[in-house]
Structure 1
Amino acid sequence: MPQLNPGPWLLIMTMSWMTLLLIMQPKLLHFTPTNPMSNKTKTSPNPTPWTWPWT
C-alpha cells in the first residue's frame, strides 16, 4: 500500500510545517489588527416596550 510508505510525503510535510512555524508565523504576528480593542465598557441598550395592536 503506497500510503503506508512515509518516504515521499513525510519530508515534504515536515518541511512545510517547519516553514510555517519558524518563518511565516513570526512575520504574520507582527501585523496589527484593523480594529484594535477598545477599553470602553459595553452598555446594553435600554429597549422600549413594544405595544402590540391586538392586545
Structure 2
Amino acid sequence: MPQLNPHPWFFIMLTSWLTFTLIIQPKILTFVSMNPPSNKRPSTPSTTPWTWPWT
C-alpha cells in the first residue's frame, strides 16, 4: 500500500512548510495593518433598560 510509505509524503510536507516559513510568511508579515491596535482602554457603554410599550 503506497499511502503507508511516508517517504514521498514527508518530503512534500517538509518542502511545503519550508516554503511557507522562509518565503511566504515574511512577505505576509511585511504588510501594514490598516487598523493598528491602540493602547486605549475600551469604554463601557452605559446601559439603560428598555421599556416595552405592551408590558
Shift of 1:30: 1.1
Question: When the two structures are aligned, how many residues end up with a matched partner?
Answer: 55
Residue 31 of structure 2 corresponds to residue 31 of structure 1: yes
The equivalent of 2:19 in structure 1 is 19
- Structure 1 moving runs of 4+ over 4 Å: none
**1:17 maps to amino acid:** W
Task: Name the % identity.
Answer: 62
Q: Distance in 2 between matches of 1:15 and 1:54?
A: 66
Q: Distance in 2 between matches of 1:2 and 1:28?
A: 36
Q: Distance in 2 between matches of 1:54 and 1:10?
A: 67
Q: Deviations over 1:9-54 (max 9, x none)?
A: 2211111111111111111111111211122221111112222445
TM-score by length of 1: 0.73
TM-score by length of 2: 0.73
Q: Distance in 2 between matches of 1:41 and 1:8?
A: 52
Aligned-residue Cα RMSD (Å) equals 1.7
Which runs of 5 or more structure 2 residues have no equivalent in the other structure? none
